[in-house]
Amino acid sequence: MSVKLQKGQKVSLSKENAGLSTVVVGLGWDEVEQKRKGFFASKPKPIDCDAFAILLKNGKLTDNNDVVYFGNLTHYTQSVRHMGDNLTGAGEGDDEQIIIDLNSVPAEYDRIVLAVNIYQARERAQHFGMIQNAFIRLVDGRNNSEMCIYNLTENYSNQTAMLFGEVYRHNGEWKFNAVGQGTTDNSIGEFARRYL
């Protein structure tokens, strides 16, 4: 049975799901319909959101290879895989997915940050206030059952990147924290520098 999470709520993954090994992280969003500003105005560019994962050691990013995104689809340990880039967010269900093999995450990594940024947000004058129905959900890879979902419901106008949540290790068990924190970072690299 799926748990609906509120901002800041933490939930145990491994305690509630004995033998859990593979977690499918589904991230989704819809673009708010944009209106043209005048008869001759060009059609607005679609918003291209990019999901990514940052693997941290003691809360710090120590290597650029610990960022898994459309340009580095698989972590070198094979423990975190990005399933590919969705350029528009169109369609039902998850727009992008990141798969975490909990048993393969080396012990020195204590936290995996799960975030989304808008590609070329400043250049295109786009922000998360133009996004609706954003969510992150965690699915048990063994049986495709949803364990928890967090719907981001706040107004994130002028925010160009979003920390959706974190999967982390605590006292030998895996947990998830629903964060929902917006930033004004303009790229994955800029966001990742927060953890140096």
| Burial of residue 82 (number of CB atoms within 10 Å: 0-12, 13-18, 19+) | buried
Specify the pLDDT at position 6. Answer: 95
Give all strands of the β-sheet with 3-5 in edge-to-edge order.
3-5, 145-152, 131-140, 22-31, 96-101, 80-82
Q: Name the pLDDT band for 40 (thresholds 50, 70, 90).
A: low
Residue 96 and residue 73: Cα distance in Å, rounded?
Answer: 12
| Span 170-178, average pLDDT | 94
CB 169 within 8 A of CB 62: no
Specify the pLDDT at position 164. Answer: 96
Specify the pLDDT at position 17. Answer: 85
pLDDT at 36 over 90: no
Q: Name the pLDDT band for 15 (thresholds 50, 70, 90).
A: confident
State both tokens at 117: 């940024």
| Span 147-173, average pLDDT | 94
Residue 97 and residue 10: Cα distance in Å, rounded?
Answer: 21
CB 159 within 8 A of CB 184: yes
pLDDT at 91 over 60: no
Mean pLDDT of the chain: 91
Q: Name the pLDDT band for 33 (thresholds 50, 70, 90).
A: confident
Tens digit of each residue's pLDDT (9 = 90 or more) over 113-149: 999 999 999 999 999 999 999 999 999 999 999 999 9
Q: Which of 135, 182, 180, 181 is nearest to 160 (CA)?
A: 182
